[in-house]
Amino acid sequence: MASLITCPHCGVRPKEEFAIRGDASRGRPEPMDSDEAWHDYVYVRANPRGRTQEHWHHVAGCRRFLVVERDTATHEVYSVVDAAEFALRATR
Amino acid sequence: MRYSAFSIVRNALSGNLNWKPQWRQPQPKSHYDVIIIGGGGHGLSTAYYLAKEFGVKNVAVLEKGYLGSGNVGRNTTIVRSNYMLPGNEPFYEFSMKLWEGLEQDLNYNVMLSQRGVIMLYHSDAQRDAYVRRGNAMWMEGVAAELIEREQLKKMIPFLNYDHARYPILGGLLQRRAGTARHDAVAWGYARGADRHGVDIIEHCEVTGIRRENGVVTGVETTKGFIGCGKLALAAAGNSSRVGEMADLKLPLESHVLQAFVTEGLKPCIDHVIVYGGGHFYISQSDKGGLVFGAEIDGYSSYAQRGNLATAEHVMEEGVTMIPGLSRVRVLRAWGGVMDMSMDGSPIIDRTSIDNLYLNCGWCYGGFKATPASGYCFAHLIARNDTHPVARALRLDRFARGYAVDEAGAGPQPNLH
Ligand SMILES: Cc1cc2nc3c(=O)[nH]c(=O)nc-3n(C[C@H](O)[C@H](O)[C@H](O)COP(=O)(O)OP(=O)(O)OC[C@H]3O[C@@H](n4cnc5c(N)ncnc54)[C@H](O)[C@@H]3O)c2cc1C
Ligand SMILES: [Zn+2]
């Protein structure tokens, strides 16, 4: 359940220790990309019902940014990885 | 169905077995001038005003569950027009005025109770912010009163005035604000719309939006294809899902908001009281239960239930404000799915598709907007023209740089 998050650094921790930033699935546009690209990045959300990837910041723990993959309808958590690890995987 | 003292007596004598349904259960026709997706407060009020005020009577409201199964039947019933920003306040005041005439208009008791909403402040800075908000309200012609601590103590003696971290220094009061019976609002609008010929079709989920040559021709539903001239979306927490059927990219995130009700007590809380140290708010229903809630759960969700950590947090806030609350037993808790927008304000607008209209982004505050939302949306659908009080609530405001952000939190929906 999303009430408990298994931080790869700190172990199982309650959700109150985290600040949730939101959608982690899209990359930040380049500075000179179009206004539309920036508008979509800043304001538009896919808002899926089901699987989603989000940035969770472990503010009251290791202070690392994590990527939590979970289900927005069942609240099941599938995986939690460090955001750096997530980015590496994406570029690999 | 009409009601009178006489009908109550007559039906009581016949064992209450002969009450008639308040609206028909029609089968869908093959085509409507306007189809509205979502039989919540906003879909129903839109249908009502379309038929009554704008003469568009060939209308269907499609609801996937039973009428009122969404947020209109889950909210904590607060109605108020104490917003600060010029883009919001005229809209909410228009709604407040419609509330004040709604029972006469619908000939239906929606139990509007203008008991006053008071928002507490706990620091000098917060007092300044509320003075500013009160002045902004006055500038739109809406009365606001600053109640200082000593006066407040006489009004509401049981608050925790001397809390070390959040002492209560006073509050901003809107006397005309209050509560209304949420179910009755849905039923009243449904009955009114039905009488004007609107087909309300329950248990009819829209599963697809059919388009030809760039315009909507109708919707696929669990009851088959239904054609339409215009399509209006009023699906609240499911707006992104329904919008996706027409490839709309929306500035929304769905979040769950919880609410709670206690055992019935004798009358003790006369107002709606809003805590300034968090989002906690409380009122007492006519049955005696204390109805309260606070912030959304924090992570995006389509589940109509919340997590225990938030429930605990809400209770803690409540007891901080009213220590006596710790002695009261909670009977029920539930959740609803909020269509949180990127600036915390709603959207009533046309879309990139000519005959597709959008109503969403109500966050945790759309109940109070039910009359104005329906009226302005009906205005837009019927005339293809934005109602003057909804001008700031356009979909393209983010791209144009005119977000209407009351909380000043930026595009981070879980902070609004
Ligand atoms: C716990 C809680 C407390 C709240 N407190 C307040 C408050 O005190 N004051 C206030 O102003 N606001 C409050 N709100 C917010 C308010 O309830 C909502 O903003 C408002 O009800 C949303 O508009 P609606 O009534 O049309 O939504 P809903 O009643 O949710 O209507 C949308 C409908 O669309 C239907 N639908 C969705 N998808 C489809 C589909 N594919 N096909 C057919 N039908 C579909 C849904 O079943 C639903 O019935 C609260 C909300 C919650 C959950
Ligand atoms: Zn950690």
Of B249, B253, B411, the CB nearest to A42: B411
**Mean pLDDT on A82-89:** 93
Q: Which residues of B touch A4 (CB under 8 A)?
A: none
Q: What is the pLDDT of residue B1?
A: 62
Kindly state if the Cβ of B62 falls inside 6 Å of ligand 1.
yes
Kindly state if the Cβ of B38 falls inside 6 Å of ligand 1.
yes
Nearest ligand to the CA atom of B61: 1
Report the C-alpha gap between B161 and B170 in whole angstroms.
Answer: 9
Choose the mutation target among B239, B250, B296, B299 for the interface with A, i.e. most A CBs under 10 Å: B299
Kindly state if the Cβ of B301 falls inside 6 Å of ligand 1.
no
CB B42 within 8 A of CB B376: no
Q: A42: domain range?
A: 4-26+34-91
Report the C-alpha gap between B346 and B110 in whole angstroms.
Answer: 24
Q: What is the pLDDT of residue B4?
A: 87
Query: Per mean pLDDT, which range of B2-16, B78-92, B192-206, B385-399 is the poorest?
Result: B2-16
Q: How confident is the model over B270-329, as pLDDT tens digits?
A: 999 999 999 999 999 999 999 999 999 999 999 999 999 999 999 999 999 999 999 999
Kindly state if the Cβ of B64 falls inside 6 Å of ligand 1.
yes
- Nearest ligand 1 atom, CA B44: 26
A10 to chain B, closest Cα gap in Å? 20
Q: What is the pLDDT of residue B3?
A: 82
The pTM (predicted TM-score) of the whole model is 0.97
Q: How confident is the model over A32-41, as pLDDT tens digits?
A: 999 999 999 9
Contacts of B96 (CB under 8 A, 6+ apart): B79, B80, B81, B142, B176, B177, B368
Q: What is the pLDDT of residue B74?
A: 97
Contact flag A15-B298 (C-beta cutoff 8 Å) = yes
- Nearest ligand 1 atom, CA B62: 43
CA B295-B301-B307 angle, 5° bins: 55
Q: What is the pLDDT of residue A26?
A: 85
Kindly state if the Cβ of B255 falls inside 6 Å of ligand 1.
no
State phi, psi for B341 to the nearest 5 degrees.
Answer: -95, 175
A20 to chain B, closest Cα gap in Å? 7
In the Cβ-directed half-sphere of B295, how many Cα atoms lie within 13 Å? 19
Q: What is the pLDDT of residue B214?
A: 95
A32 touches chain B (CB under 8 A): no
Q: How confident is the model over B15-73, as pLDDT tens digits?
A: 999 999 999 999 999 999 999 999 999 999 999 999 999 999 999 999 999 999 999 99
**Mean pLDDT on B218-247:** 98
Of A40, A49, A54, the CB nearest to B249: A40
CB B7 within 8 A of CB B19: no
Contacts of B115 (CB under 8 A, 6+ apart): B178, B179, B270, B271, B272, B283
CB B72 within 8 A of CB B187: no
**Distant-in-sequence contacts of B19-22, Cβ < 8 A, 24+ apart:** B22/B187, B22/B190, B22/B191, B22/B194
Kindly state if the Cβ of B206 falls inside 6 Å of ligand 1.
yes
**Alpha-carbon B360 to chain mean position:** 11
Contact flag A44-B251 (C-beta cutoff 8 Å) = yes
Q: What is the pLDDT of residue B203?
A: 98
The mean pLDDT value of chain B amounts to 97
Q: A92 pLDDT exceeds 90? A: no
A43 touches chain B (CB under 8 A): yes
Contacts of B211 (CB under 8 A, 6+ apart): B217, B246, B353
Q: B162 pLDDT exceeds 90? A: yes
Percentage of residues in chain B with pLDDT exceeding 70?
100
Annotate A11-48 with three-state secondary structure: EEEEHHHCEEEEECCCCCCCCCCCHHHHHHHHHCCCCC
Q: Which residues of B touch A16 (CB under 8 A)?
A: 309, 313
Q: What is the pLDDT of residue A80?
A: 97
Q: What is the pLDDT of residue B397?
A: 97
Q: Is B210 exposed, middle or buried (0-12, 13-18, 19+ CB in 10 A)?
A: middle
Q: B141 pLDDT exceeds 80? A: yes
- Nearest ligand 1 atom, CA B245: 41
Task: Specify the 3-state DSSP secondary structure of B189.
Answer: helix
Cα–ligand 1 centroid distance for B236 (angstroms):
5
Task: Give the CATH number for residue A12.
Answer: 3.30.2270.10
B236: alpha, beta or left? (left if phi > 0; alpha if psi -120 to 50): left
Categorize the per-residue pLDDT at A27 as very low, low, confident or very high, splitting at 50, 70 and 90.
confident
Report the C-alpha gap between B27 and B201 in whole angstroms.
Answer: 7
Of B238, B249, B253, the CB nearest to A22: B253
What are B291's strand-pairing partners? B261, B283
Q: B358 pLDDT exceeds 70? A: yes
* Domains: count for chain A: 1
